[in-house]
Structure 1
Amino acid sequence: MLEICKEVIKEKICFTGQKNIDLGPIDSEETLVDGDSNLIGILLGNLVDNAIRYTPPHGQIDIAIRQTQTEILLEVSDTGPGIPEQERERVLERFYRGSHSGIEGSGLGLAIVSRITEQHKARLELLTGSAGHGLLVKIRFPRERSVQALQHG
């Protein structure tokens, strides 16, 4: 999954320069998720794209990949306005734009993320960022469907 993360960052980095956004992986481990790597790339691409749209100039977007005994956790956090708790279910609906609808987009990004998450039998959580603002998206892939990548070929 770390390779997918690096590819998405490479694709999206050109969009961060206009706003001087710091985009990068933190605390990431190499893992393999049993699933469709193209769909996981689309999922992560949509999360990063949304984060870029909503993060103000000089903000930060972090991507983390961690493993526990039972799951592989993909996290994308940003320093944007976040999503009010009362809207978190609705933003997963197609075409719903939420209270920050002045930002350009179609309202499909999180609906696609939600669908791909379901296809991989994972869980999606939308939370407030660690500093009490921004958005933290957690996707929990079940570990029994996942295999740790070999560290040394």
Structure 2
Amino acid sequence: MASDVAWWERHTGTKVLLSAHDAHVGYEPVDPADYPKMQGAFLRDSLGPAYVSVGLTFDRGSFNATGPDGKVRRFTVGPAGTGTNERTLDRVRYRDYVLDLRTAGSPAPDWLNGARPTRSIGTDYPDGPYDIALAPSHDILIHLHRVAAARLRDR
């Protein structure tokens, strides 16, 4: 996937927006045994600083995912647990915000470089949490207090 994105950028000369699960677009693997290097790390190698990884966290809400039964449905989670990245991020005075992890002022970098439990919600749920250090994983972080699932169409 990364080589296709890099090819497109080089051959068109235009910016490319890649939308994928945080673990795919990030730099650090959440599951190194199965995925030793992530798409984001390959893109950073190919594109250098032109590649910017944006991660997303949230405190609570609903989302659509494939459950253990193989069916896509809505899941709802309550507030993030104690000791998680999401719980601390949600205690910031802003409910929803964007944080440039590359330029965050002191003492944030010390905290952002520490790995702690973080939700990893992709196609399948439940999955994780995984111990993730936010700053080494992404360049920018969007934190939302509450998320709402898209309405699924009947097939």
TM-score normalised to the size of structure 2?
0.26
TM-score normalised to the size of structure 1?
0.26
Query: In proportion to residue count, which structure has more helix?
Result: 1
